[in-house]
Amino acid sequence: MFSLAGAEPPIALGTLDGRYRDAIAPLVDHLSEPALNRERIRVEIEWLIYLTDNSVISGVGVLSAQEQAALRGIPESFGPQEITALARIEATTQHDVKAVEYFLKERFAALPGRAADDPLTELIHFGATSEDVNNLSYALMVRGAITSVWLPKASAVLGQLEAMARELRAVPLLAHTHGQPATPTTMGKELAVIAWRLRRQLRRIENAEYLGKFNGATGTYGAHLAAVPDAGWEAISRAFVESLGLTWNPLTTQIESHDWQAELYADLARFNRILHNLCTDVWSYISLGYFAQVRGQGTIGSSTMPHKVNPIRFENAEANLEVSNALLDVLAATLVSSRLQRDLSDSSMQRNIGTALGHSLLALDNVSRGLAGLDVAPEVMAVDLDANWEVLAEPIQSVMRALAAQGIPGMANPYERLKELTRGRRIGAAELRAFVDGLGLPPEAASRLRELSPAAYVGLAPRLVDHLDD
């Protein structure tokens, strides 16, 4: 049987590394396997520097400023050669973190004046369990991916949506509840509702905590205390974790509990779901003709129907948001559990963080491109509004209720009277105004209702958009 497995260049199994690689490429620098090893190297180096700078172990030599700079340059220049060298070591160790330790010992020995038997090499990975290195590495990776890649893209899409809401603040729109014509609103106000919801979630994500621990094989500092009994290991651990810009977790098993990850992924999933709501709403508006997809359209909508311009950006975004949420949900649900001190399920699970964020980032890219290709069609909305004068039954019966409460005669049973006039049939301006004229309303109320039209019955909708500036 013909197989593509050995093709050159390698053929991607998944879409993120194939068809959509360009859209998610910035995440590779933060959430790929090489990125994980780069951050492991960074953590190991910073721990070595912290131990020597702070004389944690008496009688131990120090690193010169030049040596520290050279060591810190290793993760900064981590590239194909280093990836290959590390893979060569791991092929022997069959342990990824131990491979990092040996890799760094080789690099340390290569520094001017150092050698393979240099006593300081024993401080590389001193007192650390693999999970001390891994939890800090993942925290740095996820923080970098969120703050440097995902948040800027999400914020840009939110900015697009807010700009549209402001631009369309006064464009009247026939609302639909349960798919039926309802009280008019404005397109700007409806978009502002989604923008407001997304912004709340972004604030939560922006304020996320990234926790870390460095306390040994079972979270007791056992090896640390055995080696250096007089050191203040809790304070050292806290200072080191915080030096990486992370929040110190003082109580853990062998693993950091991952609760912060579950919290973050739940917030990301909620953002995704609100964005999905935007996609389905915009899709519906396109279907109703309220938006036209004309700008930048060089695409083919159908292989046989030339007139079609399909809302593919929003459909693609929907699918990718659903994949992203499936992964974010399982990450949030499973990472908070570990058998006793630890099991390796979290190790395998965390390797899917990049895929989860990748599908979300791809959806954001599609939403951005979709919104950029929309032109509002106020004339279509105006036709729908003018065809649904029955929506004014609401303000008429509300005015009658207020007058009835004031004791004005002839205002009884307003809801039932409007229901009889409007339910199950269309009425026009003439029929509605004739009904108003026959009510015997006070002149001011009658004049106000006669001047009302579906397009003018939008309440405070245009002004409500200003809450985006709060």
Q: Is the pLDDT of residue 304 over 50?
A: no
Q: What are the pLDDT digits (tens) for 170-209?
A: 999 999 999 999 999 999 999 999 999 999 999 999 999 9
How confident is the model at residue 419, as a pLDDT? 79
Can you read off the two tokens belonging to residue 76?
A: 């900064």
Q: Which of 414, 101, 154 is nearest to 275 (CA)?
A: 154
Q: Is the pLDDT of residue 241 over 60?
A: yes
Active-site residue among 58, 178, 303, 348?
A: 178
Beta pairing partners, 248:
212
Go through the domains of the chain in sequence order and give each one's CATH number. Answer: 21-126 (1.10.275.10), 131-217+249-377 (1.20.200.10), 388-460 (1.10.40.30)
Query: 449: part of which helix (H) or strand (E)?
Result: helix 443-450
Rounded distance between C-alpha atoms, residue 67 and residue 316, angstroms: 50
Query: 86: part of which helix (H) or strand (E)?
Result: helix 80-93
The two beta strands, 374-376 and 291-293, are: antiparallel
- Do the beta carbons of residue 453 and residue 387 sit within 8 Å? no
Tell me, yes or no, if 95 is annotated catalytic: no
Rounded distance between C-alpha atoms, residue 216 and residue 173, angstroms: 61
Q: Which of 439, 430, 426 is nearest to 391 (CA)?
A: 426
Rounded distance between C-alpha atoms, residue 368 and residue 94, angstroms: 43
- Do the beta carbons of residue 282 and residue 370 sit within 8 Å? yes
Give the residue-averaged pLDDT of 126-143: 97
| 3-class SS shares of the chain: helix, strand, coil, % to 5 | 65, 5, 30
DSSP string, 156-212: HHHHHHHHHHHHTTT-EEEEEETTEEEEEEEHHHHHHHHHHHHHHHHHHHHT---EE
Q: What are the pLDDT digits (tens) for 149-160?
A: 999 999 999 999
- Do the beta carbons of residue 465 and residue 425 sit within 8 Å? no
- Do the beta carbons of residue 321 and residue 276 sit within 8 Å? yes
Q: What are the pLDDT digits (tens) for 82-93?
A: 999 999 999 999
Q: What are the pLDDT digits (tens) for 392-419?
A: 988 988 998 899 899 988 888 877 887 7
Cα 406–chain centre separation: 52
Q: What are the pLDDT digits (tens) for 20-59?
A: 999 999 999 999 999 999 999 999 999 999 999 999 999 9
Give the HSE-up count for residue 207: Cα atoms under 13 Å, Cβ half-sphere: 6
Rounded distance between C-alpha atoms, residue 101 and residue 48, angstroms: 11
220 DSSP 8-state letter: S
Identity (one letter) of the amino acid at 37?
A: N
Q: Is the pLDDT of residue 295 over 60?
A: no
Give the residue-averaged pLDDT of 61-73: 96
- Do the beta carbons of residue 204 and residue 227 sit within 8 Å? no
Q: Is the pLDDT of residue 426 over 70?
A: yes
Active-site residue among 287, 302, 398, 447?
A: 302
Tell me, yes or no, if 178 is annotated catalytic: yes
Give the residue-averaged pLDDT of 229-248: 97
Q: Which residue has the tokens 């499936």?
A: 326
Rounded distance between C-alpha atoms, residue 393 and residue 340, angstroms: 64
Residues contacting residue 425 through CB under 8 Å, at least 6 positions apart: 390
How confident is the model at residue 437, as a pLDDT? 84
Collapsed DSSP state (helix, strand, coil) of residue 6: coil
Measured from the Cβ of residue 294, the count of other Cβ atoms closer than 10 Å reads 11
Cα 216–chain centre separation: 33
82 DSSP 8-state letter: H
**CA distances from residue 270 to 145, 199, 205, 259, 277 in whole angstroms, order as listed:** 18, 11, 10, 17, 11
Q: Which of 337, 93, 122, 334 is nearest to 223 (CA)?
A: 122
- Do the beta carbons of residue 377 and residue 292 sit within 8 Å? yes
Strands (E), 249-333: 291-293
Q: What are the pLDDT digits (tens) for 349-398?
A: 999 999 999 999 999 999 999 999 999 999 999 999 999 998 998 898 89
- Do the beta carbons of residue 52 and residue 60 sit within 8 Å? yes
